[in-house]
Structure 1
């Protein structure tokens, strides 16, 4: 049965290495959000570096998740000191559990504060797509699909929570019983 991949991307107002209270708060909130999301029904896992170095994205060992990359519109730093972005790549059993995890609880509270931390870019901040049960999505997959979403709008290849498709490519917000 296919699984749902979710890629998120945002450009931060300040580099991750910045010592301002806002950056520290972003890190602390993010760590708490990941702890909670990891306990959610339907959550299968997310991309983490094999070294676990905080702030190291480019050049890190991401294992099966592939080489870290970013959308073509990201024009800020790429070193530990200058990187100003937040990106996630995760796997879910279905759309409803992912939606519930993102739009409720601690993550919802963080979303309400996103403009304290992120620039308003006019670009999509997330993309979803279905992957075969034995596949691990890569950072390159996520970037390609986010750019496709930006250029072409939601389609079965790359869609959003609010313009979703089932694994069979049928438009509409699927429920647990019909999304595959």
Structure 2
């Protein structure tokens, strides 16, 4: 990809290699060790910045959490990050389910036509469910962010590992 136009290259899984190529281009190689339905594959490229936190899982493994946004929105991501951490910790405590990748990312996209999508390790969200200005956001805004971040994260173990036979089984994943 053109490095000037698309300085950030994201996909599912763990980043295993990246570098520069001739003519101002660059690459990123991602490896996702988990089989998944094709609709959970994701690529995001753009001029983005991230809030990052490292957490230690219940088994002692370090995990990198990132919330990617356009630069002007970075100061509105704290609640989404806190919601992600709450969801991860709850899954560990309640079910003993640990984040199975080294990295988990949320990307906020202004023109994303859905609320959010549970792409494995790279959740894509409409900005409405990530961004909250503490000075102007309502309690409902904060509650919606917490709810949708949790919902999409929980797909990691309870939805992403199975494929529906047909649309009649959709409630198994979204119910």
Q: TM-score, normalised by structure 2?
A: 0.28
Structure with the higher fraction of residues in strand conformation: 2
| Larger RCO, structure (CA 8 Å, separation 6 or more) | 1
Q: TM-score, normalised by structure 1?
A: 0.28
